[in-house]
Amino acid sequence: MDATNLILECLVSVHVRLIATCKDLTNDQLLWRLIPSANNIGFILWHMNRHQDTQITKAGTQDQDVWITDGWFQRFSQSPDSPDPGDRMGLRALPIPSLDVLLEYCAAVHKRCIEYITGLTSNDLDQPLNTDRQNYSVGNCLRHLITHQNNHYGQIDYIRGLHDETWDLPVGTGVIVN
């Protein structure tokens, strides 16, 4: 298996698990917070997909995220530039749309990501990004994305377990990409 296929399988796998974990959430489960300052599943889904959207823009050749080009910010009732990640209170106050809208955005971002990665070769992974971080390559960016997506998926899975002690990942979510 080459490196691009490994990256592709990692990102497809976390996407499939994420969708299976979230598909039957109620609105109360989507917005529930363990404590007032904790993130809810809706926010984590938004954050995961905004981050993936931004990383693929950064790694790829497109100038803007689908958040802007496809008008997702409007469907989320947010501004194109949304609160700064350092604005903790602003982030907690973000409006969270319905699960359907969150999952539609997730699908749009995932589609763009997969299209980008399937166009890469292993040599492309060594190409530097246009950032002020020396030696930060496309491969570094995608490695970070895999870690980020899996970390936040784990948070959502954990919260599902807090909602229901019998929660378990739905059967049939293993993925093999050919």
> pTM for the full model?
0.90
| Residues 68-91 pLDDT 10s | 999 999 999 888 887 766 677 777
Residue 14 placed within a domain = yes
Task: State residue 169's pLDDT score.
Answer: 72
Residue 175 placed within a domain = no
What whole-number distance in Å separates Cα of residue 141 and Cα of residue 6? 14
| Helices and strands per DSSP (H, E), number in the chain | 8, 0
Domain count, the chain: 1
Residue 67 placed within a domain = yes
Residue 169 placed within a domain = no
Partnered with residue 137 across adjacent β-strands are: 128
CATH of the domain at 145: 1.20.120.450
> What does the radius of gyration of the chain's CA atoms come to, in whole angstroms?
17
Average pLDDT value for the chain: 89
Residue 109 placed within a domain = yes
If we measure between CA atoms, which residue out of 18, 50, 43, 47 comes closest to residue 29? 43
